[in-house]
Amino acid sequence: MRKIEHIGIAVKDLNASNALFTKLLGKKHFKTERVEGEAVETSFFQVGETKVELLQATSENSAIAKYLQKKSEGIHHIAFDVEDIHAEVERLKAEGFEILNETPKQGADNKLVVFLHPRSTNGVLVELCQEKA
């Protein structure tokens, strides 16, 4: 893993949260994007080399909607940038980590993504991200 790519924060209202984080970080978000496969609307803020990703559910059945029902707003996941997502999945499987989706899927911000189950990572949802070519 090369760096922390982003920290994902589940929010109920993306517009209100964009205003809040604009005040907090002293800068506006640089991008919004809908990810249909995950049923989320995202917004990104750049903070140094790392991004903050705000996630609002677009469906009551999405993972973010379920997270908000159980835990309320807050940190949802931490994402790590990887050079070769397939090799990293194999390495982590061999180390005993539980992979939620072994086949990388389309994520936001032109990334292929794989998630590790929080059961195997001390309660933290971990996302692996690789820039798409």
Reported as a pLDDT band with limits 50, 70 and 90, residue 122 is: very high
Q: What is the pLDDT of residue 86?
A: 97
Read off the pTM: 0.93
What average pLDDT does the segment 111-121 reach? 97
Q: Is the confidence at residue 82, as pLDDT, over 90?
A: yes
Percentage of residues in the chain having pLDDT higher than 90:
98
**Buried/exposed 21-46: b ≥16 CB within 10 Å, e otherwise:** beeeeeeebeeeeebeebbbbbbbbe
- Residue 133 pLDDT: 83
Name the amino acid, one letter, at 107.
Answer: G
